[in-house]
Structure 1
Amino acid sequence: MTSATPVTLGLAGTGRIGTSHAETLKHLPGVGTVIVADADAERARAAAGKLGVQAVPDLDALFASDLDGLIIATATDSHPELITRAVDQGIPVFCEKPVATDIQGTLAVIEHIENSTVPVQIGFQRRFDAGYRAARAAIASGDLGWLHTLRATTLDPAPPPAEYIPRSGGLFRDCGVHDFDIIRWVTGREVEEVYATGTNRGEQFFADAGDVDTAAVILRLDDGTLATVSLARYNGAGYDVRLEALGSRGNAIVGLDDRAPLTSVEPDYVPSPLPAYPGFMERFRRAYTDELAAFLSVATGEIDSPCTAADALEAFYIAEACELSRRERRPIAVAEVRH
């Protein structure tokens, strides 16, 4: 298979992110056919009809469709089976994060696929965002000098549905894991220790699920750089995702644009006329497209996976350490949660 040959891609899961991916895939150069399936066959048919792609009645039919690549956008608990099944059939895989619901499940998938040459790419779309890429380049070039502080934020304008929270994995694994991955990626460093705390100021269903709706994290990187991560489910001003990389000679700030939901109270401030980002799909639309374009290159053998299951595991370790820190109210070395 070469990049000049139109490919057939399958997509499992036609919820919000899956449907968006199907629409993106349909317009990617080099994609010939997009076939979708869902546990809810009617939902798959409806999405296919709306988008002008093919639908099959179930996942078995999807795997029997002579696929050149598979995109997994199903519920997290189905990810391990679908990843390993695809790899066993020689089908390159793109899977939305996480690999599995817990560390043990993630390790089991990695063990299953580690001797295979079939590529697996995990969906951490921030790696494909132009701002984060520019920050990574600035850090690597030495233009910022040595880093002393990183400040990351992921603030949702409104919480997910109540029924989602008990199966989300919690704020650190579901939301903060993106910040943990991108901090590793832009710096090229590992996180050695975390201290995390959280609180609930909103709906009771977070506390009922043993989760929090707001959290603050301090990370110590292996070179001594400190990073803070702020997470929240209630940020009524809009979707706010930023990263500040502060160095001895300069700084690089990601996400500081005319749609960032920030309001200055300084008297000479002129507010932007543009609306704030309402959610992650709008904020990272281009990154999602570039991520799937990269997967097409992975599937056709042009490049290696830019985000492996092992990468996802490292971010998951940090999230796990944060949850343990929050519960036990003490600093946690990431080594404590490694298996």
Structure 2
Amino acid sequence: MSSHQAITLGLAGTGRIGTLHTETLKHLPNVTNVVVTDADADRARATATELGVEFAPDLDTLFAADLDGLVIATATDSHPALIIRAVDAGIPVFCEKPVAADIEGTRAVIDHIKHSAVPVQIGFQRRFDAGYRAARAAIRSGNLGWLHTLRATTLDPAPPPAEYVARSGGLFRDCGVHDFDIIRWVTGREVTEVYAIGANRGESFFADADDVDTAAVVLRLDDDTLATVSLTRYNAAGYDVRLEALGSKGNAIVGLDDRSPLSSVEPDHTPSPHLAYPGFIDRFRRAYTEELAAFASVVTGDLDNPCHPTDALEAFYIAEACELSRREARSVKVAEVR
């Protein structure tokens, strides 16, 4: 298959991110047909009607639609079965993170597909953001010298619903995993040790789910670079996602612009007239488009898979080590959870 060949893509899961992906897919130049389904057939039908794509009432109908690729945006617990079904049918897959709800499930999927040539791309959209790409280039070029510190933040404006928190896997696995992945990706290094603490000062449903609403993490990389990751569900000033890469010769900062929700109290500072990003879709809209455009090129054979399930597993190991560290109040070697 070549980049000039028209392709049909299926999409499972028409919630918020699935609807965004549907809209993006239908505008990709070589995608001529998009077929959507959802466990809630009425929701999928409404999405298909609104966006002018094809509706499939169930998964069997979707898989019978002669698909060239499948985008999975369903609930986490359905990811493993859908990935395996598609790969076994020879259909390339794009799946929103995570591969599965836990390490064992992720390993099982990887073991099942490891001898297949069918690509499975995992959705870590920050890898396609222009700022993160520029930081990666600056680090790997040597222009920053050797790194001594990385500072990452993912600060949500408001918490998700209690039902979501209860099945999210926790702040490290659901939220921090993006920071863990991008730190590995921009540096090309592995995380060897973590120390994580968490707190609950917000809604009681976080504690009810044995989760935390705010966390601070220290990571040691395999070259002794130190990284900190700050996470919270309560940053009402706006969606704040940044990465600071500080080196012996220079620095590169991702996410510092006129829409950063930072309030300087210096007397000579002029506040930005621009509103902060309200959420992840607005902040990463262009990255989501680039990510799915890359998947279309993976489908046509014009691009190697840019984010393999093994990458998701490595980020999951770090998240798991953070959760163990929080619970046991000690530093944890990532090797302990492998």
- Which TM class, normalised by the smaller chain length? over 0.9
Amino acid at match of 1:129: D
Q: What is the 5 A alignment of 1:57-96?
A: 57-96=57-96
How far apart, in 2, do the equivalents of 1:56 and 1:312 lie?
A: 29
- Aligned twin of 1:107: 107
- Aligned twin of 1:295: 295
How far apart, in 2, do the equivalents of 1:60 and 1:273 lie?
A: 50
How far apart, in 2, do the equivalents of 1:275 and 1:89 lie?
A: 46
Q: Does 1:180 align with 2:175?
A: no
How far apart, in 2, do the equivalents of 1:110 and 1:199 lie?
A: 34
- Aligned twin of 1:237: 237
How far apart, in 1, do the equivalents of 2:239 and 2:59 lie?
A: 34
- Aligned twin of 2:145: 145
Q: What is the 5 A alignment of 1:223-302?
A: 223-302=223-302
Cα displacement (A) at 1:133: 0.2
Q: Does 1:211 align with 2:211?
A: yes
SS of equivalent to 1:195: strand
How far apart, in 1, do the equivalents of 2:126 and 2:223 lie?
A: 23
Cα displacement (A) at 1:55: 0.5
Q: Does 1:8 align with 2:8?
A: yes
Amino acid at match of 2:169: G
- Aligned twin of 2:54: 54
- Aligned twin of 1:316: 316
How far apart, in 1, do the equivalents of 2:136 and 2:142 lie?
A: 10
- Aligned twin of 1:45: 45
Cα displacement (A) at 1:146: 0.2
Q: Normalising to structure 2: TM-score of the pair?
A: 1.00
Deviations 1:21-40 (A, max 9, x none): 00000001100000000001
Deviations 1:280-330 (A, max 9, x none): 000000000000000000011111110000000000000000000000000
How far apart, in 1, do the equivalents of 2:236 and 2:16 lie?
A: 22
Cα displacement (A) at 1:80: 0.1
Cα displacement (A) at 1:75: 0.1
Deviations 1:173-202 (A, max 9, x none): 000000000000000000000000000010
How far apart, in 2, do the equivalents of 1:128 and 1:43 lie?
A: 29
Deviations 1:118-166 (A, max 9, x none): 0000000000000000000000000000000000000000000111111
How far apart, in 2, do the equivalents of 1:323 and 1:60 lie?
A: 38
Deviations 1:195-247 (A, max 9, x none): 00000010000000000000000000000000000000000100000000000
Q: Does 1:167 align with 2:167?
A: yes
Query: Structure 1 stretch 100-109 or stretch 51-60: which is displaced more?
Result: 51-60
Amino acid at match of 2:52: G
The aligned length equals: 338
Amino acid at match of 2:185: W
Deviations 1:68-90 (A, max 9, x none): 00000000000000000000000
SS of equivalent to 1:290: helix
Q: Normalising to structure 1: TM-score of the pair?
A: 0.99
Deviations 1:71-116 (A, max 9, x none): 0000000000000000000000000000000000000000000000
How far apart, in 1, do the equivalents of 2:275 and 2:76 lie?
A: 32
Q: What is the 5 A alignment of 1:117-136?
A: 117-136=117-136
SS of equivalent to 1:14: coil
How far apart, in 2, do the equivalents of 1:190 and 1:175 lie?
A: 19
Q: Post-superposition, which runs of at least 4 consecutive aligned residues in structure 1 deviate over 6 A?
A: none
SS of equivalent to 2:151: strand
Amino acid at match of 1:39: A
Question: Percent identical across equivalent pairs?
Answer: 80
Amino acid at match of 2:220: R
SS of equivalent to 1:82: helix
Unaligned regions of 5+ residues in structure 1, if any?
none
Amino acid at match of 2:310: A
SS of equivalent to 2:304: coil
SS of equivalent to 1:236: coil
How far apart, in 1, do the equivalents of 2:304 and 2:321 lie?
A: 29
Cα displacement (A) at 1:60: 1.0
How far apart, in 2, do the equivalents of 1:6 and 1:20 lie?
A: 21
